[in-house]
Amino acid sequence: MEFAIPISKFNPTNVKWGIPKSCPFRKTIPFSYEENNVSFNNLIITLPPLKVLEIDYERNQVVLEENTKTSLLNKIDIFQQSVSSELEKNSKKWLDDTRVPATVKSPLQLWVKSKKLTLYLTSDPKNLPFFIDGEPAVFSETTVKPGDMIRAVVKLQGLSLQMSEDDIWTGKSRIQHTILQLYKVTF
């Protein structure tokens, strides 16, 4: 059984870094989470209800923003700053024998930018575990529109370093995540 951490309880300093794993076209450094002598092998976060700003079905992403005065997305921003710092300090170690570009500008693709969170949907968003009023539904242009409120449960797999065909780091990376569940919130 996997447990999700509510974003309100999430502490970015409790995230731990795993051993890099090589995959085709990327190298991933997995995340785990430790708090009060409890370890989670997976980092799963439950986000608060967020307002849908945009859904891009061509790029399979949804852009969300907080609709409250207390900004819980600041925790994710602090987390991505920590990831960026770790990337800067450890990229050579994580990449072993891989050639690294001479100059790297902004190597981390930001997850939270201008207080907006971008989540990547699956290649077929209709297959996402999606619920309206506790009932299973299909995530589509008719069920979710800009202005709607949704709550997401997201698994953060790790830091993904994008590699070329020749196994050379492209100088780009992102926080690899998967949406485990989405809930349309009605008040």
- Give SS3 for 186: coil
The rounded distance, in Å, linking the Cα atoms of 75 and 12 is: 7
Encode pLDDT of 76-131 as tens digits. 999 999 998 888 888 778 777 666 655 555 688 888 888 899 999 988 899 999 99
pLDDT for the residue numbered 130: 95
Count of CB atoms within 10 A of residue 69's CB? 5
The rounded distance, in Å, linking the Cα atoms of 87 and 79 is: 12
Encode pLDDT of 151-171 as tens digits. 999 999 999 988 888 877 888
- Give SS3 for 132: strand
Query: Positive or negative CA dihedral for 13, 78, 91, 21?
Result: positive
What is the total count of domains within the chain?
A: 1
- Whether 111 and 117 have beta carbons less than 8 Å apart is answered as yes
- Average pLDDT value for residue range 32-38: 90
pLDDT over 70 (residue 1) = no
pLDDT for the residue numbered 104: 58
- Average pLDDT value for residue range 13-21: 91
**Lowest-pLDDT choice from 35-39, 106-110, 135-139:** 106-110
For the purposes of burial, counting CB atoms within 10 Å of the CB of 7, is it exposed (0-12), middle (13-18) or buried (19 or more)?
middle
pLDDT for the residue numbered 114: 84
- Give SS3 for 152: strand
pLDDT for the residue numbered 33: 93
* Parent domain of 176: 5-185
